[in-house]
Amino acid sequence: MQIGIRLHDTLPLSLEERLSIVKEQGFTCVQLALSKVIKEFPVDNGALTPGLAIYLRNMFKEAGIDIAVLGCYLNLAHPDPVMLDQIRKTYLAHIRFASILGCGVVGTETGAPNKEYKFEEANRTEESLKIFINNLRPVVEYAEKMGAVFAIEPVTNHIVYNSKRARRVLDEISSPNLQIILDPVNLLDLDNYMEQNEVIEEAIDLLGEDVAIVHMKDFIIRDNSIISVAAGNGELNYKPIIEFIRTRKPYIHCTLEDTKPDNAVAAREYIQNIYNNN
221 forms beta bridges with: 226
Nearest in space to 241 (alpha carbons), one of 197, 206, 272, 209: 197
Q: Assign residue 258 a region (left: φ > 0; alpha: ψ between -120 and 50; beta: otherwise).
A: left
Residues in the chain: 278
pLDDT in tens, 113-129: 999 999 999 999 999 99
Q: How far apart are CA 241 and CA 100, in angstroms?
A: 31
Residue 28, φ and ψ in degrees, nearest 5? -115, -5
pLDDT given at position 61? 97
Nearest 10 degrees: Cα torsion 146, 39, 24, 11: -130
Tell me the mean pLDDT per 10 residues along the chain, length 278.
97 96 98 96 97 98 98 97 98 98 96 96 97 98 98 98 98 98 98 97 98 98 96 97 97 98 98 93
pLDDT given at position 45? 98
What does the buried/exposed string (b/e) look like for 71-108 if buried means 16 or more CB atoms within 10 Å of the residue's CB? bbebbbbbeeeeebeebbeebbbbbbbbbbbebbbbbb
pLDDT in tens, 135-167: 999 999 999 999 999 999 999 999 999 999 999
Please state which CATH class domain 2-213 belongs to.
alpha beta
Instruction: State pTM to two decimals.
Output: 0.96
pLDDT given at position 278? 75
pLDDT given at position 77? 97
Q: Where are the domains of the chain?
A: 2-213
Q: Give percent helix, percent strand, percent coil of the chain, each to the nearest 5.
A: 50, 15, 35
Quick check: 170 and 178 in contact, CB under 8 A? yes
